[in-house]
A and B are shown apart, each in its own frame.
Chain A
Amino acid sequence: MRRTALLAAAAIVSTALAGCGRPMYFGGWVSEWHPDVSLLKDNPRLFDSVSFSWCHIQADGSLKRVAPADRDELVKWAKKHGIKVYVTIGSGVPGITGKAGTRAVKELVAVCEQYGFDGVDVDIEMLGKPARDTYTLFITRLAEALKTMKTPRRLSVTLQEVQNEKDEANLCSDYAVAGRLADEVRIMCYDISWDEPGPIMSREAFARDLAFAKSRIPADKLVMAVPWYGRDWNITDKTHEDILWRMTDARDGIMGMDEIVGKFGGKPVWREPEGELSYTYTVGGKLHEVWMADPRQFEWMVDEVRKAGVRGVYIWQLEYASPEFIPVVRRKVKR
């Protein structure tokens, strides 16, 4: 009996300690589609880094640049606030293979020099297992090139979430190898539901993702990328689109969550065991089901990340996010 009580007390202390500790690393992506940086600019002290999707590697290895007109001003502003700026790149297989890959590496070094980026974030998705050697050699060359710059730059690698070794074997990326080569590895903990309505990321899947990633990637490099977006499934038409909290039909051509709930009434429902908000509505005779990341979900995710003792969290995506996420960042991530 006494032993049980002691163990229970130890568990309470352990849980309390797990919640303490230093501020975690925090940052987020800004996509090329909705370049809204208001949340970033209103809260510069909370951010360690920001990643802009401003480049895409083309088939010949050249970079297609899609930066907004205020790119230089944004980079300057971020640096002034001590926020590291990454350029996030995507590519298909041809752009990272052979001579094209060599060209891409050279051009990435050049844009880092030219625009003062602090690092490159490689977010190459959906290539699959056949591209594994090509992908590995590409990030190897990029790591080497960035490390040997006059002012060495950082390499971030953004990887698809997997929950076990078998699933990982089907990816183009190898978690352990990325964990060695990169300075930071971001695991995209979202998108578990795609064709059928369901959570963006459930508690169970998140726990598995975190445990597997931690088994392969050093904790001080591991960053869990979590959602601040949602998905609206049109069940009748079997289509779906991603939504953000403060999007508007008038400005963006897509209704955001605030607008949807305001227009169709009722309240989103908190769902367990998923640990996520969902909402259904009908428009034009078509049934919609929405699953949406919200501050409550973000909070339990951050708690899990802190308990795991890994480096921090990254947000997809910062644009048109609900300002209600910010108190959670202050209270749970940066305290």
Chain B
Amino acid sequence: MTFGGWIPDEVRDFSLLKRNSGALTSVSICAFTIERDGSLTDTISPVHAEFMKWANANGIIVWATIGGTRRSLPWAIQGRARERLVKELAAACAKYGLGGIDVDIEGIAGKVRDDYTLFIAKLVSALQAMTPPRQVAATVMDFPSAEDEAGGPFDYLVLGLLADEVRVMLYDYSCDAPGPIMPREYFAEELAFARSKIPKEKFVAALPWYGRDWCGGDTEDLTRLEDADPPPGVVPEWREPEGELSLSFTRDGKRHEVWLPDPRKFAWMVDEVRKAGASGIYVWHLGCASPEYFKLVRGKVRR
């Protein structure tokens, strides 16, 4: 299977990725934001630019991931703004030597389904006309069933026809209340539904390399156990049937419940994805990478 991951804007240390270049098929740089009028802004730093150059030189496809905010969406994918955005994205591909654009537009309502579909169609057309042609990935929310998908902005089947890749984000099962990032049962349902709509050669399962700490009404995403800073003696516990590592503790009078990123979880997810049939795996995010994760990527994903 192919393997790649997103690189959030704040990640600046690429040394581990460079040491594991053979495991990576592509990377997606999250340093592009779309504005309400369809213009594109980027925060590509010299460090990013150097990494992108290195990736291209090492045969790793560099994608630009674009997202938006409540200020810019859905307007940026409608009408004239959409036409402008498509043009600016094609220009960005040429400017930065990008292999494609990954559309990771979240938080839009089901009523803009047609706008989103048209935006993907126009982007596909514009990028395919480039020399060399560039690719389009659609990164979409996870759904366990057709009923859930029908009310949302993402039409899996149509995106599976239009886009070169459809990355289904199989995480964030628990948001408001503490719980697993993605339990086994729900994962299996979502995987099966995605595969029923998206052709195998275009389906990319996006998996979590992050964890989350719930404390009162607040949440904080974690890269590793140390980020939770548990008191001495508090150790994580493997939880079934969720198939995930978690721990809880009280610090400064506040109760923390933490569900952790963990290679063991990644391993069973990769096994399930391979069984379901997918062209590749993507991870959110590569800033959480560890040597243990890469060992699994080499042994289970890229074998």
Contacts and interface: CB of A to CB of B under 8 A. Distances in A.
Majority SS at the chain B contact face: helix
B117 A137 contact: yes
A180 interface: yes
Given A137-B114, A140-B121, A177 B162 contact: yes
B53 to A, nearest CB: 29
A177 B125 CA distance: 6
B118 A133 contact: yes
B125 A144 contact: no
A176 B125 CA distance: 5
B124 interface: yes
A216 B126 CA distance: 10
B121 A174 contact: yes
Q: Interface centre among A136, A147, A176, A181, by most B CB within 10 Å? A: A176
A180 B135 CA distance: 13
8 contacts: A140-B121, A147-B157, A176-B124, A177-B121, A177-B124, A180-B161, A181-B158, A215-B129
Determine chain A's interface SS by DSSP, over half rule: helix
B121 A136 contact: yes
Contacts of A177: 121, 124-125, 162
A36 interface: no
A222 to B, nearest CB: 14
A181 B161 contact: yes
Interface residues of A, number: 17
Interface in A132-165: 133, 136-137, 140, 143-144, 147-148, 165
B157 A144 contact: yes
Contacts of A140: 117, 121, 155, 158, 162
Nearest to B115: A133
Contacts of B155: 140, 144
A180 B129 contact: no
Contacts of B158: 140, 143-144, 181
Contacts of A147: 157
| 5 nearest A-B residue pairs (beta carbon) | A176-B125, A176-B128, A177-B121, A180-B162, A174-B125
Contacts of A181: 158, 161-162
B12 to A, nearest CB: 37
Contacts, number: 41
Nearest to A175: B125
A148 B117 CA distance: 18
A147 B125 CA distance: 22
Interface string A302-326: 0000000000000000000000000
A216 B158 CA distance: 18
Given A133-B118, A137-B117, A181-B162, 4 more contacts: A140-B158, A144-B158, A180-B124, A181-B161
Interface in B105-129: 114, 117-118, 121-122, 124-125, 128-129
Contacts of B122: 174
Contacts of A136: 118, 121
A216 B121 CA distance: 13
B129 A176 contact: yes
Interface in B127-163: 128-129, 155, 157-158, 161-162
B157 A216 contact: no
Contacts of B128: 176, 216
B143 to A, nearest CB: 15
A125 B161 CA distance: 23
Nearest to A136: B121
A165 B129 contact: yes
A186 to B, nearest CB: 18
A175 B125 CA distance: 8
Contacts of A216: 128-129
A147 B196 CA distance: 11
Interface string B33-73: 00000000000000000000000000000000000000000
B159 to A, nearest CB: 10
A127 B117 CA distance: 21
Interface in A97-147: 133, 136-137, 140, 143-144, 147
Nearest to A143: B161
A176 B136 CA distance: 13
B132 to A, nearest CB: 11
A137 to B, nearest CB: 6
Nearest to B136: A180
Nearest to A174: B125
A143 B129 CA distance: 23
Q: Which of A148, A177, A215 has the most CB of B within 10 A?
A: A177
Interface string A167-179: 0000000111100
Nearest to A215: B129
Nearest to A145: B157
